[in-house]
Structure 1
């Protein structure tokens, strides 16, 4: 299963840039005060927002997956282990199903990342020029209370991303349906009880 969770060290580095060495908030249930209305755009504000986004590990992260076995390699190893005579087309379909699952997972995670970026951008649009400039260029120069507020907003955004970007039930169910249809098409359950198209256990 593909996973693109943000490395902990990147999050820690952003915490430290906002807070120095004062550590995490007192509790994760603390809430930052609400921000004001969206302020008018300007060339300078847009540039500062872009710079602030570039400092954020998740917003700026290069979305390269961690090294892993290819689906072709996974299927090839499985084919060697299973003592079942099945045509090449079956194993080709198995790989396609894994590719489809990975694509669904990636789309879901990217949608949640886009929501994270949109939320952060909206927050940045609501702060005054001086605060925005400091968030963009030198967050450590913010006063202690403001740094704490932005640390809490970061934790809230990132926590929501981690929870919401996990593979959901719809993606898993779609994968299971594809695998069951594949085994049904090739009559696998008649050859091997360890198949995807088994009736549910009572």
Structure 2
């Protein structure tokens, strides 16, 4: 099963049980954002007994949005008048409005006869945008897909978005799923810094061995892309300012691509540090060379989860780089009205 890496499995299981026992109410406790440019989010669950809870810095105990796919109660009918309709095969869904520009943590929980599964991720929604989250159970693992929705030329478009799990540090110790941080001391800080440095070196070594896929575009490749694009445009000529910005967009994409491993490693170390800050001194002292069998198991399980976290972070950062590039290219084509003359223009 897939569980959130930032929150203990027991906490997630207890939260799911509490949600079921409390009934969650049909519509939940979360009030829709009232801003005229509020973002809209559709949550689709294809699993049983599913809840979506909303957390932010002011609501560390979370706010519920209702229950989906529970045979004892009717699904919530929350809707937000979204422009793009849901997929035809959606089993259960709800729609809410989110405050634009606000860091929000979404926590998904599902509870079946033989499993408890959960996933948390952070989202800072953009004003007026529509999003869709699809939660499913496939091959014995839970999967979560976040997409941005739009309509282009009368067609529904779904663009996959990165899933970043950074938690809500300001809520540590203030809610049922947020572990309590132990007081920082010089000794603890030294131990944690040492552990983080060693683990970061191990991750860096793994990346070097795997030879990171190259995403950057060389000057020669860019010249070839421009020549091909001009040939496809035929008699439609764009001014030099367009092609200058076109090159600058690729240069910026190259720069972001070059930094994506560093960014993923930063996310990894931030989350690892947060987990260690809630760990007892006696365990920290053995972390790098554990002698106690129970501590050895705990460290091994933590490192396995964190390696998985790093892999997911790398994928999300790569997707973020690609999306940023596509967005910049679409803005460029829009600014020069390219789509009115060239059907292969960039759209995002």
State whether TM-score is above 0.5. Answer: yes
Note the C-alpha offset of 1:55. 0.9
**Higher relative contact order by CA 8 Å / sep ≥ 6: 1 or 2?**
1
Deviation at residue 150 of structure 1 after TM alignment = 1.5
Question: Once the two structures are superposed, what CA deviation does each residue of 1:84-129 show, in whole Å capped at 9, x if it has no partner?
Answer: 4444322221122234445667788766644432332233233444
Which of 293, 298, 322 is matched with 1:144 structurally?
Answer: 293
The corresponding residue for 1:196 is 346
Judging changes above 3 Å, is the alpha-carbon distance between structure 1 residues 167 and 61 closer, same or farther for their aligned structure 2 residues? closer
Structure-to-structure mapping, 1:3-152, within 5 angstroms: 38-57=181-200, 61=204, 69-70=216-217, 72-82=219-229, 83=231, 84=234, 85-101=237-253, 113-135=265-287, 138-139=288-289, 141-152=290-301
Give the structure 1 partner of residue 309 of structure 2.
Answer: 160
Provide structure 2 residue ranges, at least 5 long, that are not aligned to the other structure: 12-178
What does the per-residue CA deviation read over 1:123-178, in whole Å, with 9 as the maximum and x for residues that have no partner? Answer: 3233444432332xx42x43333222112122223323433451488776654443
Quote the offset at 1:57 in angstroms. 2.9
CA contact (8 A) 1:58 1:113 kept: no
- CA distance, structure 2, for counterparts of residue 174 and residue 59 of structure 1: 29
Q: Deviations over 1:50-94 (max 9, x none)?
A: 111111137974999876644644421212333144443222211
TM-score by length of 1: 0.56
Counterpart-to-counterpart distance in 1, 2:253 and 2:190: 38
Which ranges in structure 1 are unaligned for 5 or more consecutive residues? Answer: 1-26
Shift of 1:188: 3.7
Q: Which has the higher strand share?
A: 2
- Number of residue-to-residue matches in the alignment: 167
